[in-house]
Amino acid sequence: MLKIVLFAAIFAIAVQGYHPVEDLLEKTEHGGQIWAVIVAGSKSWYNYRHQSDVCHLYHLLTKKHGIPRQNVITLMYNDIAFNVENPRQGIIINALHGKDVYEGVMIDYMGRDVTPQNFLDILMGKHLSVGSGNTLKSGPKDTVLVNFVDHGAPGILGFPYDELHLANLTSVLNHMFNHNRYHQMFWYVEACYSGSMFKNLSPNMNMTVHTAANEEESSYACFYDNEIGVYLSDCWSVNWMNNTEQFLPNLAQETIEQQYKIVKEETELSHASIYGDLEYIFKEPISTFLGHAKAAAKPKPNSGRKITYRKTATPDVMLEYLKEKKGRMMAENSEEAERLDKEIKYHIQTEGKVQEILKQISRQVTGSWKMVAVFSKSPQSIEHPECNRDVLSTFFSQCYKMQTHPYITKYLYRLTNLCNMYSSDKIVYAVLENCSHN
């Protein structure tokens, strides 16, 4: 009973300040509305930055860019603001200015309601019987913005307990286009291998996608907060949101193309990429999707926080977090430090074990160690999304999950590459045999 009361209290705090009656619908030049679906697909304290990024964007859209709150649909696990490790209970800060971005955020779907299927149902405008029930009610005159932030792998975007596969997303996007669910759609996607989800996106669907990474690489976390021991943001997300704020309140002065080129230049280590319609949407001002900003003073940086600017590949953030925490616990709690040491050793050993399992799977499928080397060299394009889905779903269910072992995303392309030459049945059989033996 106490858990129910606490959960209700957290939800009440999350939605405070929501007054749909006072929000006037902003019209696009085509006479439609601007809609947004924003998703933080992870959970757990070490993934702090994902919910921080989404909360920051929520305020940019609703408070500064004038998009009605009921037009912004938010999916977020909501385990950060009141996490036991949070020294500032009820507060989430973002790297751009170090101020609370949690207060006033209306979270439509949280906890176990943050699922791939709910996300896809929202995009299709279906009624949901969970959460707020809010769904995308866009039509042929409306513009739609989607922001997704989480872990990723070839042909996959992560959710707290499950994965969104390329095959399923492609089917829904085709449905949206064929049923006139939007006039134009624009995505910002922060995830490793995010380019693999959109590399084959048709340029004729009135849709453009800007990703933090191409189809072959990780994205990166930035701005480590020494006080709370986590990263506050992702590098690419900070860059595009900072670029947007620089143009306040005149978002019509910068086009999608201009922002992409600036952010691509500013984003180090990963290669920011863009897919889909690079002719018409490319020339649209960012205000088409982000709204027309209200005149407001730009927030000043909070210089009081001890923030270290460093970059870590997203799959390696969890292990880094555990090592940092162990270092702090050595002097404070030797028993906890010993527990963390065991956890760190487990994950280091498991990372090596996963690589060996993948070699054995490739050897069984190809029948040749020489071919194992070929398929392990680098990520290939995903030619058979259904095979990719079936194989990775089997690996996650029978071997290791990317949510609890995020470092495995660095090696999963060795499985997905096999789909370009071998049947899913053959690969799935090898996965089942090797995972059951381990």
Beta bridge partners of 190: 149
387 has catalytic annotation: no
| Residue 242 identity (one-letter amino acid) | N
User: 50, 56, 59, 151: which is the annotated catalytic residue?
Assistant: 151
H or E, element range at 157: strand 156-158
C-alpha–C-alpha distance, residues 203 and 278, integer Å = 7
C-alpha–C-alpha distance, residues 386 and 396, integer Å = 15
Contact 340, 348 (CB under 8 A): no
19 has catalytic annotation: no
Kindly give the pairing relationship between strand 156-158 and strand 163-165. antiparallel
Beta bridge partners of 109: 75
User: 192, 222, 235, 387: which is the annotated catalytic residue?
Assistant: 192
C-alpha–C-alpha distance, residues 142 and 288, integer Å = 10
E strands, 200-355, where?
207-211, 220-225, 230-234, 273-276, 307-308, 312-313
* 420 SS3 class: helix
Please name the residue ranges forming H helices in 381-423: 385-398, 413-416
Kindly give the pairing relationship between strand 273-276 and strand 307-308. unpaired
Catalytic residues: 151, 192
